[in-house]
Amino acid sequence: MDRNLFIQAITKVTAGILLMALLLFWPAGTIHYPGGWLLMSLLFIPMVIAGFVLMARNPDLLRKRLQMKEEQMAQKQVVALSGLMFVGGFVLSGLNFRYGWHTLPRWAVYGGAALFLLAYVLYAEVLRENTWLSRSIEVQEGQQVVDTGLYGIVRHPMYFATVLLFLSMPLVLGSIHAFLLFLVYPLLLVKRIRNEEELLERELPGYREYKQKVRWRMLPFLW
């Protein structure tokens, strides 16, 4: 086991847990916020399990997933706006629970949890299919076009999975206000995907042909 990689992964997960707990429970005014604990369990338990699996089977992929260094200004803006969206959404959810503005019914919360888990499964499948996945937009040495599995349906299945993940989060938290805010995320992805495809067309051999083969970017028959 790569000791430095293990420390890096544990540090990032711990920091994520603490930050998310702060953004949810402080505005809620209590740690007795069921939706907050449910979301953190759904998010971090599979994340830790997946991290150990990647560390054992594909440490290089885990190392790439831990890195987040966008070089292009357009992508830095997308990342920054996404971060603001998350902060605002979690704070709104905590305040919604605290003041009882409009709490979603239990069936919506459980439906959101099921959607979240489905999205996690899709995300894991994307990671299995594409070992060149990175959190930043780049073309790596030796990278090839992946056109099988989910990549044979849409060109960006990872982004589709993240849309499901992120839109299910406010449902789990029981906040319609946060859900409306999180609807900004698909709009941010439009800019990111267009910029990414320009880079891939320039630098990844075979990507132009792949675009002709797989027509849809993220949503079949829509976009």
25-79 per-position pLDDT tens digit: 999 999 999 999 999 999 999 888 877 877 777 777 677 666 665 556 666 777 7
What residues form DSSP beta bridges with 103?
175
Total structural domains within the chain: 1
Residue 222, in any domain of the structure? no
Do residues 109 and 171 make contact, with C-beta atoms less than 8 angstroms apart?
yes
Domain-located, residue 77: yes
The model's pTM? 0.85
Of residues 77 and 136, the one with the higher pLDDT is 77
Most confident range (mean pLDDT) of 67-81, 116-130, 159-173 is: 159-173
Backbone torsion region of residue 80, taken as left when φ is above 0, otherwise alpha when ψ lies between -120 and 50, otherwise beta: alpha
pLDDT band of 135, cuts 50, 70, 90: low
What is the per-residue pLDDT for 34? 95
In a domain, residue 219? The reply is no
Give pLDDT tens digits for 125-134: 887 887 666 6
Mean pLDDT over residues 67-93, rounded?
A: 79
Is 162 within the bounds of a domain?
A: yes
**What are 30's two structure tokens?**
């209590």
Distance, in Å, from the CA atom of 19 to the CA atom of 12, rounded to the nearest integer, reads 10
pLDDT category at 83 given cuts 50, 70, 90 is confident
Sign of CA dihedral 198, 203, 204, 206: positive
Q: Is residue 193 part of a domain?
A: yes
Domain assignment of residue 220, yes or no: no
Residue 8: CATH number of its domain: 1.20.120.1630
What range does the domain containing 106 cover?
3-213
114-118, 133-137, 196-200, 209-213 — most confident range = 114-118
Candidates 141, 156, 137; CA nearest to 72 is 137
Domain assignment of residue 218, yes or no: no
